[in-house]
Amino acid sequence: MTRFALTIEFDGTPFQGLQRQKHGPSVQQSIEDALHRITGEDITLHSAGRTDAGVHALGMRSHVDLDKDIDPFRLSEAINAHLRPDPIAILDCQIVPDDWHARFSCVERRYVYRICNRRAPLTFAKNQVWHVAQPLDAEAMHRAAQSLVGLHDFTTFRSAHCQSRDPVKTLDRLDVERAKTELGDELRIYAEARSFLHHQVRSMVGCLKLVGQGTWEEGKIAEALAAKDRSKLGLNAPPQGLYFVEAIYPDEDA
């Protein structure tokens, strides 16, 4: 039995999420089906995180255990061939120790949320960013975001369906930056933590958008956090602007 670590990129638009679902296609199912066609084995994909329907990944880390003796490069090439035309790509494949686990060995997860902040409607990238037509104050959003950094009870910013036993998490980074891109003005919200609650990033971004447009005062973010009450959430951002960027592991370069 050999354990292979995979680095995966995917467009989440046609999927119900990363995790296998009963009610629609998933990234996990596509990869497991491809591996079954290659090896004849029934294989389970274990991943660093889960993603909602429509959420994307630039560098999801996952692992699989195979009985078949195969070179990692040949395996990645074979998986990619069998994944077509699904918008999923294996970017890297490495043999790892048996005690390396994509989820439980991970010490940091990094996300970015993209907001296209322009008046004109989108022609391209409709499923890749959140289009917000009204001007947003990125500096105000960044200042407000800092009240969420650190160790907090994030009950307000978790889904009602979140399965985590503990709403207390340590948020290591939440930065809002404005950039000029091919789409025009774009706001990028960078979030980093060891782990996140279900919908936490989208919920934080949604409330920061309210600050950016002037609907909420900057201090309202801290008030919502302190309330520890989901009903105090102002807005949950849509999934299409969210990207899982990378997972960090001990002894790996960040």
* CATH code (residue 208): 3.30.70.660
Residue 52 is part of a domain; what is its CATH number?
A: 3.30.70.580
Last residue of a domain, one of 64, 96, 128: 96
Is residue 85 in a domain?
yes
User: Any idea which of 158-167, 213-222, 238-247 has the lowest mean pLDDT?
Assistant: 158-167
Confidence of residue 253 (pLDDT cuts 50, 70, 90): low
Residues of the chain above pLDDT 70, percent = 99
Mean pLDDT (whole number) for 25-43: 96
pTM equals 0.95
> Would you please indicate which residues are annotated as catalytic (active-site) residues?
52
Examine the domain organization and report whether 149 and 235 are in the same domain.
Answer: yes
Q: β-strands 184-193, 108-116: how paired?
A: antiparallel
Q: Which two tokens stand for residue 48?
A: 């660093």
Is residue 254 in a domain?
no
Examine the domain organization and report whether 159 and 237 are in the same domain.
Answer: yes
Examine the domain organization and report whether 150 and 185 are in the same domain.
Answer: yes
Last residue of a domain, one of 56, 76, 96: 96
How many domains does one find in the chain? 2
Residue 177 buriedness (CB in 10 A; 0-12 / 13-18 / 19+): middle
Mean pLDDT (whole number) for 125-132: 96
Q: Could you list the residue range(s) of the whole structural domain that residue 181 is in?
A: 108-248
